[in-house]
Amino acid sequence: MELFELYREISVKNEKKILLIVLDGIGDLPLKEDKTPLEAAKTPNLDILAREASLGLHDPVARGITPGSGPGHLALFGYDPLKYDVGRGVLSALGLGMDLMPEDVAARGNFATIDEQGNVLDRRAGRIPTELNKKLIGKLGTNIKEIDGVKIFLKTEAEHRFARVLRGEGLGGAVSDTDPQVTGKSPLVPTALNKGSEKTAEIVKNFIEKAGQILADEHPANFILLRGFDRLPLIPPVSEIFKLKAGAIASYPMYRGVAKLVGMEILGIEGEGEMLDEKVELLKTKFPEYDYIFFHIKKTDSYGEDGNFDAKVHHIEEFDNVLPEILSISPDVLVITGDHSTPVPLKNHSWHPVPVLLKSEFTRPDETTRFTEKEALKGSLGRFKGTELMPQLMAHALKFKKFGA
Amino acid sequence: MELFELYREISVKNEKKILLIVLDGIGDLPLKEDKTPLEAAKTPNLDILAREASLGLHDPVARGITPGSGPGHLALFGYDPLKYDVGRGVLSALGLGMDLMPEDVAARGNFATIDEQGNVLDRRAGRIPTELNKKLIGKLGTNIKEIDGVKIFLKTEAEHRFARVLRGEGLGGAVSDTDPQVTGKSPLVPTALNKGSEKTAEIVKNFIEKAGQILADEHPANFILLRGFDRLPLIPPVSEIFKLKAGAIASYPMYRGVAKLVGMEILGIEGEGEMLDEKVELLKTKFPEYDYIFFHIKKTDSYGEDGNFDAKVHHIEEFDNVLPEILSISPDVLVITGDHSTPVPLKNHSWHPVPVLLKSEFTRPDETTRFTEKEALKGSLGRFKGTELMPQLMAHALKFKKFGA
């Protein structure tokens, strides 16, 4: 039997409540004064917690693998990202609250600027305001409702980004990106990557041409680029595998998307932006109604990607500041970790293992005194794979029955 | 998707260079003054490196498994030795530069001494000189070119050892060894271990009889023993899975064989013997042309197998001595480890985990001060499976793209 199938068999419902806090991209490398952001930050509240909790490190997907946000979060939710490989288009569409049907094909879109020769001048159309995006999406939506019997749905994400869903018969999800990834080149022609996706590629090509005509007189957003085509994967929900009524508090669409994919309810927050205080308030209100809440903090990752050490430190301190408010809800099992590392020196996601803090009535104490990469090395949780976190939470919440007699 | 398939998808070529140094059988147990050879050796250069690098331990195949040189090295190269099970005959033939075709059946041979009753007196014919081996191989080759349409190729390895390749139609590789492993018994009859290998067993039987007749008047090498029958496994090369132009510097045929098996180029060194200085010179010359070089040092294992503590210590010190020369090529990613442990008290390969040292621009520091079994326990790499080394090297060389969005 596969371990994942065992979870389904041994999981039970009870009154215990789990809180998973994801500090996106939290793991780092030493930089200033040989300290990582977690080491440099003043975190009196986290420090107390680190003394009381068990620490460890997880490799989100596997050693050496740098995970995207999708695989990183799927792993934290207990789902093997190598088995459940999800396209970003699907995650975005879900995150924006678009109802995806099993046969739909989703993709992410950018408004872009092209010159008279048709070469890309700006892949993000100068990051147009979200309001203009909405106006243009309205214009496209009014003019292109369907092509050859395939319905087209569009929704603004933010700035230059939108999501696009195709609904119709005989659509495959394997179509190549049209974003050339560099400026000065023409957009790529969408190409079917397998036989079953030829119709999709034709429709997409047609759609892009029409969109180009409609946007021709706009400036700077006179073209669109599409990428991350995919269909909804079949994923058994957390309610089935873990018997959890699970909710997600995340203020960026991507993370709401991946939470929805595994059957979590998306709680209250829309749009994009950190909104830390609002999220904490929402958590305090909603926690009593759920068995498990996934609470996502984004900016630790953003500042890592910006290469901004001080801002990452500051944001960790801001989190530490609201921690007592968060702890006031007294979760039976609390985890603080990241979905991957985003070291400031790399300005990118990385493969480095991610610190984990786990606290419950049943944690084995260790001698860790701070929530840092180095202290986590000494922690009683040791080093484990991302997918192994969820079964540990279930165990600490006494939500897993004994296996065998 | 399997992890190994993911490697193929996410690996990219870049300018970064990886150096893997394998101190064969380096791991050990405490013996003199409660120290292991690594602890007893004076290694000022390794000590400096240990302070700058990350340390850890790897289990070449899995906990409790004592690997042969083939599985140990395959694991270090990122290939699951349980999936790619390679016979020693294949490794020897490849190491001797024999061109193996996919349908060929290889085996290792020993010249041996048998008495008048046909019982084995000496399984190694008193370790005859390599020159005599060559003469006898010439004699056998002249007299036996093919049997029933199956061509037979022989090549001297060293002392009593040779490799033998069968080429023809309908040959399977599953044939039992003829070496009885003890003296005083008659050689075993080669037996087909599956239906497809019956023809092979017949030919081998026939070949051994003919060889016995031809060698009848020789002394002490009047018979041959064969073992390790196998065909070439289908292994995707490192150029395909990891996009690496890889070279191997190894002064023993076996290790050149396993490197060739995964598509590494064999650089310059022939024959057998440590040749440490020559290998270092070759490394300095060739490193600029390759993405990855595997640099093998043999004697640490040999002295372990001899049970010679002092010689193992001394050889470690000799390696430490040439280390600055090696480091002068400034690899972007440097690893020093072994393919398995060969503890002096055991005089044999063992299952004990093997110390690893990894240094790159992106290693997370730890508090290790020497490259020893005990210090490695405290290292930030933790303990991992042999096959997990390669993805970590790829990551540190920034040769792995992000997985998923």
Residue type, B264: M
The pLDDT, as a whole number, for residue B307 is 96
The pLDDT, as a whole number, for residue B110 is 95
Identify all chain B residues contacting A374, using CB atoms and an 8 Å cutoff: 364, 366, 380
The ipTM (two decimal places) reads 0.84
Identify all chain A residues contacting B402, using CB atoms and an 8 Å cutoff: 66-68, 348-349
Residues 12-31 of A with CB under 8 A from B: 29-30
**What CA–CA distance (Å, rounded) separates A113 from A121?**
5
State the nearest Cα–Cα gap between B255 and chain A, in angstroms: 25
Candidate from B362, B394, B400 with C-beta closest to A346:
B362
pTM: 0.86
H or E segment to which residue A5 belongs: helix A3-10
Candidate from B382, B384, B402 with C-beta closest to A349:
B402
**What CA–CA distance (Å, rounded) separates B320 from B82?**
33
Task: Give the chain B residue nearest A376 (alpha carbons).
Answer: B380
For chain A, how many helices (H) and strands (E)? 14, 14
Higher pLDDT, A264 or B253: A264
Are B364 and A29 in contact (CB < 8 Å)? yes
Given a contact cutoff of 8 angstroms between Cβ atoms, the answer to whether A292 and A246 are in contact is: yes
**What CA–CA distance (Å, rounded) separates B126 from A175?**
67
Residues of chain B with pLDDT under 50: none
**What CA–CA distance (Å, rounded) separates A389 from A383?**
10
Question: How many Cβ atoms sit within 10 Å of the Cβ of residue B236?
Answer: 16
Question: How many Cβ atoms sit within 10 Å of the Cβ of residue B66?
Answer: 17
The pLDDT, as a whole number, for residue A156 is 94
Q: What is the mean pLDDT of residues A329-348?
A: 97
The pLDDT, as a whole number, for residue A103 is 87
The pLDDT, as a whole number, for residue B60 is 97
The pLDDT, as a whole number, for residue B165 is 94
Residues 192-251 of A with CB under 8 A from B: 228
Range with the poorest average pLDDT among A130-134, A269-273, A310-314:
A269-273
Q: Is residue B55 within 8 angstroms of chain A, CB to CB?
A: no
The pLDDT, as a whole number, for residue A245 is 98
Query: pLDDT tens-digit profile of B303-350?
Result: 999 999 999 999 999 999 999 999 999 999 999 999 999 999 999 999
Q: Is residue B391 within 8 angstroms of chain A, CB to CB?
A: yes
Q: Per DSSP, which regions of B232-344 are E strands?
A: 246-249, 265-266, 292-297, 333-337
Identify all chain B residues contacting A349, using CB atoms and an 8 Å cutoff: 402
Task: Give the chain A residue nearest B2 (alpha carbons).
Answer: A82
Identify all chain B residues contacting A82, using CB atoms and an 8 Å cutoff: 1-3, 6
C-alpha atoms less than 13 angstroms from C-alpha of A86 in its C-beta half-sphere: 32
Identify all chain A residues contacting B401, using CB atoms and an 8 Å cutoff: 66
Residues paired with residue B132 on neighbouring β-strands, in sequence order: none
Task: Give the chain A residue nearest B56 (alpha carbons).
Answer: A377
Are B395 and A29 in contact (CB < 8 Å)? no
Are A81 and B401 in contact (CB < 8 Å)? no
Question: Which tokens in the block code for residue A388?
Answer: 């192994």
User: Which domains are assigned to chain B?
Assistant: 3-85+235-396 (3.40.720.10), 92-231 (no CATH)
Are B405 and A81 in contact (CB < 8 Å)? no
**What CA–CA distance (Å, rounded) separates B96 from B94?**
5
Residues paired with residue B358 on neighbouring β-strands, in sequence order: B54, B335
The pLDDT, as a whole number, for residue B405 is 72
The pLDDT, as a whole number, for residue B315 is 97
Identify all chain A residues contacting B75, using CB atoms and an 8 Å cutoff: none
Are A30 and B364 in contact (CB < 8 Å)? yes
Q: Is residue A48 within 8 angstroms of chain B, CB to CB?
A: no
Q: Is residue B405 within 8 angstroms of chain A, CB to CB?
A: yes
The pLDDT, as a whole number, for residue B78 is 98
Are B404 and A30 in contact (CB < 8 Å)? no
Given a contact cutoff of 8 angstroms between Cβ atoms, the answer to whether B100 and B90 are in contact is: yes
Q: Which of A63, A76, A348, A381 to mutate to test the interface with B (most CBs of B within 10 A)?
A: A63
The pLDDT, as a whole number, for residue B341 is 98
Candidate from A62, A71, A377 with C-beta closest to B404:
A71
Q: Which of A55, A66, A83, A387 to mutate to test the interface with B (most CBs of B within 10 A)?
A: A66
Would you place residue A88 in the very low, low, confident or very high pLDDT band (cuts 50, 70, 90)? confident
**What CA–CA distance (Å, rounded) separates A195 from A193?**
7
Longest dimension (CA), chain B: 73
Are B362 and A352 in contact (CB < 8 Å)? yes
Q: Which residues contact B138 (CB under 8 A, 6 or more apart)?
A: none
Would you place residue A253 in the very low, low, confident or very high pLDDT band (cuts 50, 70, 90)? confident
Q: Is residue B186 within 8 angstroms of chain A, CB to CB?
A: no
Are B392 and A351 in contact (CB < 8 Å)? yes
Query: pLDDT tens-digit profile of A213-248?
Result: 999 999 999 999 999 898 888 899 999 999 999 999
Are B362 and A29 in contact (CB < 8 Å)? yes
**What CA–CA distance (Å, rounded) separates A175 from A167?**
15
Q: Is residue A81 within 8 angstroms of chain B, CB to CB?
A: yes
Are B388 and A349 in contact (CB < 8 Å)? no
Q: What is the CA A51 to chain-centroid distance, rounded?
A: 29
Task: Give the chain A residue nearest B391 (alpha carbons).
Answer: A64
Identify all chain B residues contacting A81, using CB atoms and an 8 Å cutoff: 403-404
Are A63 and B391 in contact (CB < 8 Å)? yes
